[in-house]
Structure 1
Amino acid sequence: MVRGFRLIFATSLLLMLLGICNGSKIGICYGRNADDLPTPDKAVELIKNQNINSVRIYDSNIQVLKAFANTGIDLMIGIPNSDLLPFSQFQSNADTWLKNNILPYYPATKITYITVGAEVTEAPNNVSAMVVPAMTNVYTALRKAGLHRKIKVSTTHSLGVLSRSYPPSAGAFNSKHAGFLKPLLEFLAEKQSPFLVNTYPYYAYQDSSNNVSLDYALFESSSEIIDPNTGLLYTNMFDAQIDSIYFALTGLNFKTIKITVTETGWPSKGSPKETAATPENAQTYNTNLIRHVINNTGTPAKPGEAVDVYVFSLFNENRKPGLESERNWGLYYPDQTSVYNVDFTGRGSVDVNTGGNFTSGNGNGNGNGSFWCVASSNASEKELRDGLDWACGSGNVDCSPIQPSQPCFQPDSLVSHASYAFNTYYQQNGATDIACSFGGTGVKTNKNPSYDSCLYMTAGGKKTAASNVTANATSWGQKGYSVPSPYYYYCLLVILFVLTKLSDV
């Protein structure tokens, strides 16, 4: 009897640890409040080519759900505020919606979350009282279908749900929302659903640039801000905002509720007064954000704890009202050209071009057609080998110049050879962002990588010599490996310990 109990306990612990050690995930918000957007099928291809595995949409559009079928991408879908009344009034409305809008497409479309309402405390009409009844009815409909453990139900919040956020340890919910928050948090704790929040360091900087430095908002600060109550050190605004939510939850004795960031990002363009809304700052923020999240560093108050984050957003949305920045949060224009480059693997480096539109479909991102695609020096040997083999095989690249005794063989390194092959494929296939993907190991650059007699192809199939550029054989010769975070090794050690105990049972 005792032996059986130990086996069950150890197995349960192992499964729990395997779930925890999956780490943080980076996703993207796919809004469609714009003209001339690509079809959902094309948008999904764009998402797949960026190696994005989690997506948030704001409704349950059938064409979008179909487009995500059999992709393996986790999908968060939304029920808008305008539908809260019928969902909250009658269980039959939630049942019918699930039957017609979800069940026909699940599990081919991998729906993992349903958000019921969005930022209701900011809504002009008072709809917050409808949220928990609507969530309860949606959860009950899922339970009837046997999906309540596979699809989580929650609702999203703005940071305005707090009355205090600084210092983080003083984080507290606004008391005027108490009647809404108490049953909501009880629901989340009981159903083990996360607290969903939209956090924007951009607005914290824009609204209080005298107190918040731009570097602190962009993850670039070299100094630390100390929370006087806890002594915790903060080097970026994002962590401080997340921890203010943690402390607010703890203050109400909801310590077990996890946090997921359903929107964060930085605009690439704004009104004359929005001087921080630039492509350079947007690229810096999102690049540093992604690296911060996938390293599983957690926050000062919750070190090593996974926090899933969704970047806002996939496309610029020209129909959104408000300031100019509201229409310029996207990574892509509606024609699928990049506003700026972001590597969702968090490994590669990106070049900052001050010209605004960093890339275009024909590679003329800086106005003279001089963009190249090279291999990331931080990619693993296997990733580079797979990309090189594919380019020289199925990609139909002439790889003879990187063979022994040929002009591009030296330096004899995997990164150098892959760079030549990646660039040739990129130029032969329209010099598009997709053509420089290679599973996240391709990186666009406006610096000519040609050297000596090794000439890299440019747009139009021409090969040009470097202009005052020499190959950095030292850095390219290094084998780049993705280094797991210390949290990963900690999890691995604990799992090995549990496996050892299992073998003793």
Structure 2
Amino acid sequence: MVRAPVPAALLAGASAVLLLLCSFQVAFSLSIGVNYGALADNLPPPAQVAAFLKENTFIDRVKLFDANPVFIRAFAGTGVSMVVTVANGDIPGLAKLPAARDWIAAHIAPFYPATNISLLAVGNEVLATSDKNLIAHLLPAMRSLTAALAQAGMGKIRVTTPHSLGILAASEPPSTGRFRRGYDRAILAPMLQFHRQTKTPFMVNPYPYFGYTGRTLNYAIFKPTGGSSTPPPMDAVYSGMKRLGYGDVEIAVGETGWPSVGDADQPAVSVENAASYNGNLIREVNSGRGTPLMPGRRFETYIFSLFNENQKPGPTAERNFGLFRADLTPVYDVGLTRTRVRRFSSLMPVFFTVIN
């Protein structure tokens, strides 16, 4: 079959459109993680959630607050990366290698590698509990679990533990950031050495929401005020790490977010501010710009949280950190759904038909 020559103008136009579409796809190939909490009585089954995230969103990582086998199994075959969490109360026993082996055999081995478990979080904000027994056994448990994973042939699973920003004694300006005395050299320095040796991230849970003032609100929700649009906690953490000689260790964000509904005495809690914080956070994380003190760095980041959780105790805001409602509709649009890309991608066959 002889094909008629395609006019150069048409080829150029089609090429331009294809380039635009490809650029559009790249621009929306976002990467972000979410915390998947389940303190609610109205959430869809985990298998439905896993399918929804894979097929309809750009969310490619989830972080669990436990090692619930139903949730872990639900993500098998999805490719979505998962963080599994060891309960705080289990930490003392896991400081011994035999117990760590048993825990891995019971909670990780049955699901890996079908479920893409990439991180094991040992407890959550253990230092903030001030429990001396837990704190004393935290790093030994991290070491034992690392050894148990390696012995089981699962050495690709990294081990970390999330910290609240309560580990900081000073954070403003960020360049003066330092860790609390007593925690810095006795606890955090050996832990940072562990992270350096194992090439695993030091994980923190920065919540500008809990520390904003009227003066700092725009800064907290990533609205530029003449300087960087990145809130300062990450640089303060980095300064504390650098002060101890560990500025090279990777940092990950285990939790961060902003609620969309609050009580009457919380005027800064709104859909607009939640969308501003999380939307700009997603853009910053994917930009690769880093922070003023860490230019070019990328941070593995998990937004809190995937869903509004109607059974969480405390103020109204605690039940309204979710990106999605229980019916899987977005609470607000931060560009995480694939609808836009699919709509534009559906035009591509038209252009191929024209030029073929």
Name the TM-score class by shorter chain: 0.7 to 0.9
1:385, distance to aligned residue in structure 2 (A): 5.4
- 1:125 and 1:264 map into 2 onto residues whose CA distance is 24
Question: Do the aligned partners of residues 143 and 303 (structure 1) sit closer, same or farther apart at CA in structure 2, a change above 3 Å counting?
Answer: same
- Code of the aligned partner of 2:167: V
- Residue in structure 1 matching 2:279, options 280, 287, 295: 287
Contact 1:298/1:306 (8 A) holds in 2? yes
- 1:161 and 1:343 map into 2 onto residues whose CA distance is 33
- 1:325 and 1:132 map into 2 onto residues whose CA distance is 33
Q: What does residue range 443-462 of structure 1 map to in structure 2 within 5 Å?
A: none
1:117 aligns with 2:123: yes
Could you say what the CA RMSD is over the residues aligned between the two structures, in angstroms?
2.3
- Residue in structure 1 matching 2:49, options 34, 43, 53: 43
Q: What does residue range 368-383 of structure 1 map to in structure 2 within 5 Å?
A: 375=340
- 1:189 and 1:112 map into 2 onto residues whose CA distance is 17
Structure 2, unaligned stretches of length 5 or more?
1-28
Q: What does residue range 18-97 of structure 1 map to in structure 2 within 5 Å?
A: 25-48=31-54, 49-88=56-95, 90-97=96-103
Which residue matches 1:315?
307
Higher relative contact order (CA 8 A, sep 6+): 2
1:299, distance to aligned residue in structure 2 (A): 0.7
- Residue in structure 2 matching 1:185, options 175, 178, 192: 192
2:262 counterpart SS class: coil
1:139 aligns with 2:98: no
- 2:269 and 2:304 map into 1 onto residues whose CA distance is 14
- 1:384 and 1:324 map into 2 onto residues whose CA distance is 36
- Residue in structure 2 matching 1:297, options 289, 303, 307: 289
- Code of the aligned partner of 2:316: E
2:105 counterpart SS class: helix
Q: What does residue range 166-205 of structure 1 map to in structure 2 within 5 Å?
A: 166-178=172-184, 179-205=186-212
1:267 aligns with 2:259: yes
Q: Residue by residue, what CA displacement relative to the aligned partner does 1:376-433 show, whole Å, maximum 9, x if unpaired?
A: xxx6xxx66533469xxxxxxxxxxxx9xxxxxxxxx99xxxxxxxxxxxxxxxxxxx
- 1:79 and 1:323 map into 2 onto residues whose CA distance is 27
Task: Provide the identity percentage.
Answer: 39
- 1:131 and 1:24 map into 2 onto residues whose CA distance is 34
- Code of the aligned partner of 1:177: Y
Which residue matches 2:336?
344
- 2:266 and 2:130 map into 1 onto residues whose CA distance is 25
1:191, distance to aligned residue in structure 2 (A): 0.9
1:120, distance to aligned residue in structure 2 (A): 1.0
- 1:161 and 1:79 map into 2 onto residues whose CA distance is 20
- 1:218 and 1:385 map into 2 onto residues whose CA distance is 30
Which residue matches 1:98?
104
Question: Do the aligned partners of residues 266 and 133 (structure 1) sit closer, same or farther apart at CA in structure 2, a change above 3 Å counting?
Answer: same
- 2:287 and 2:277 map into 1 onto residues whose CA distance is 16
Structure possessing the higher radius of gyration over alpha carbons: 1
1:80, distance to aligned residue in structure 2 (A): 1.5
1:44, distance to aligned residue in structure 2 (A): 1.0
Question: Do the aligned partners of residues 72 and 42 (structure 1) sit closer, same or farther apart at CA in structure 2, a change above 3 Å counting?
Answer: same
2:123 counterpart SS class: strand
1:82 counterpart SS class: helix
Which residue matches 1:154?
160
1:146 counterpart SS class: coil
Which residue matches 2:229?
235
Which residue matches 2:169?
163
Which residue matches 2:7?
none
Q: Residue by residue, what CA displacement relative to the aligned partner does 1:221-263 show, whole Å, maximum 9, x if unpaired?
A: 2322xxxxxxxxx3332xx111111111000001220101111
Which residue matches 2:226?
223
4+ runs deviating over 4 angstroms: none
1:124, distance to aligned residue in structure 2 (A): 5.7
Which residue matches 2:9?
none
- Code of the aligned partner of 2:345: D
1:97, distance to aligned residue in structure 2 (A): 1.3
Contact 2:31/2:58 (8 A) holds in 1? no
- 1:38 and 1:300 map into 2 onto residues whose CA distance is 41
1:78 counterpart SS class: strand
2:302 counterpart SS class: strand
Which residue matches 2:21?
none
Contact 1:24/1:296 (8 A) holds in 2? no
- 2:332 and 2:40 map into 1 onto residues whose CA distance is 19
- Code of the aligned partner of 1:111: I
Contact 1:24/1:308 (8 A) holds in 2? no
TM-score (norm 1): 0.60
Contact 1:25/1:307 (8 A) holds in 2? no
1:170, distance to aligned residue in structure 2 (A): 0.3
Q: What does residue range 416-427 of structure 1 map to in structure 2 within 5 Å?
A: none
Which deviates further from its counterpart, 245-254 or 122-131?
A: 122-131
1:222 counterpart SS class: coil
1:24, distance to aligned residue in structure 2 (A): 9.1
- 1:101 and 1:387 map into 2 onto residues whose CA distance is 42
- 1:128 and 1:341 map into 2 onto residues whose CA distance is 40
- 2:266 and 2:158 map into 1 onto residues whose CA distance is 37
- Code of the aligned partner of 2:230: N
1:342, distance to aligned residue in structure 2 (A): 2.1
Question: Do the aligned partners of residues 309 and 99 (structure 1) sit closer, same or farther apart at CA in structure 2, a change above 3 Å counting?
Answer: same
1:313, distance to aligned residue in structure 2 (A): 0.4
Which residue matches 2:136?
129
1:328 aligns with 2:287: no
